[in-house]
Amino acid sequence: MRTKIMVSLGILLLLAGVSLFGELVSIKATIEFPFMVQDKTLAPGQYEFTRVEGGMAFRILGEGKNEATAIIITRLSGDMRASAKSAYVVFDTIGDSNTLAEIWLPGEDGYLLAGTKAAHTHTTVPMK
């Protein structure tokens, strides 16, 4: 009887873990300028940002062949300016070049995707 209880408890914990890590988070944004993701340049347009299963990367999907994968470097502590419902992407801007650097999801800490030591500014785009 004790073995059956332990097996049942183990299965419940396993299912709970799978449901937490298997949840895909997807948010959309309109990016009005070309931007870099890793080594790929994407055209302006409507994009969907989806955290892939396992939480190690984001998949960026646009129209046509505009798609890329951004590996998560690390998590960023919560942004005091953001509410639990706000979401946005941040680009590192150097001259005319914009690189996807951060993704902030509602109610979560941020995700660092790229960084630069060169002088740059940030361009923030709200998500829907």
* pLDDT tens-digit map of 111-123: 999 988 889 989 9
Count, residues in the chain: 128
Measure the CA–CA gap between 99 and 97, rounded to whole angstroms: 7
The HSE-up count of residue 58 (CA atoms within 13 Å, CB side) is: 29
Measure the CA–CA gap between 15 and 11, rounded to whole angstroms: 6
- Sequence letter at residue 25: V
This prediction's pTM? 0.75
* Domain boundary assignment for the chain: 24-126
Of 3-7, 46-50, 76-80, 91-95, the poorest mean pLDDT is in 3-7
Nearest to 40 by CA among 75, 8, 66: 66
Q: What was the pLDDT predicted at 111?
A: 93
- Sequence letter at residue 123: T
Share of the chain above pLDDT 90, in %: 52
3-state secondary structure the chain: CHHHHHHHHHHHHHHHHHHHHCCCEEEEEEECCCEEECCEEECCEEEEEEECCCCCEEEEECCCCCEEEEECCEEECCCCCCCCCCCEEEEEEECCEEEEEEEECCCCCEEECCCCCCCCEEEEEECC
Give the tens place of pLDDT for each residue, 33-60.
999 999 899 999 999 999 998 889 999 9
**pLDDT at residue 69 greater than cutoff 50:** yes
Give the tens place of pLDDT for each residue, 1-45.
555 444 344 444 444 444 444 456 788 999 999 999 998 999 999
